[in-house]
Amino acid sequence: MAEQRLHAFVSGRVQGVFFRYESQRVAQDLGLMGYARNLPDGRVEVLAEGERMALEGLLEFLREGPRMARVDAVDHSFAPAAGDLDSFHIR
């Protein structure tokens, strides 16, 4: 099965609540490559590549977030993997 790319923007109370760190932990557990970063407008951007089932698992986490987060919305899209990511890290 071909790898895919998930690009997500998470809004709500998602900065300062360990959202990026927990996203990294979940993504690494799922064997995904990519990154999570804070955006100036208060959202968190997540870009990840891997098998579709693993990406769906990450998306499920993004919709809930860590315990102290409040997720209001997750805007996301899927595309074919570009293959230009080497690990999952925080930016």
Structure confidence by residue, pLDDT tens digits, 41-89: 999 999 999 999 999 999 999 999 999 999 999 999 999 999 899 899 9
The pLDDT of residue 68: 95
pTM above 0.85, yes or no: yes
* Of 37, 38, 43, 52, catalytic: 38
Task: Report whether 27 contacts 58 (CB < 8 A).
Answer: yes
- 38 given a catalytic annotation: yes
Q: How confident is the model at residue 1 (pLDDT cuts 50, 70, 90)?
A: low
Helices (H), the chain: 19-29, 52-64
- 20 given a catalytic annotation: yes
Question: Which two structure tokens, joined as six digits, stand for 57?
Answer: 């698992």
* Of 5, 13, 20, 25, catalytic: 20
Which CATH number is 4-86 given? 3.30.70.100
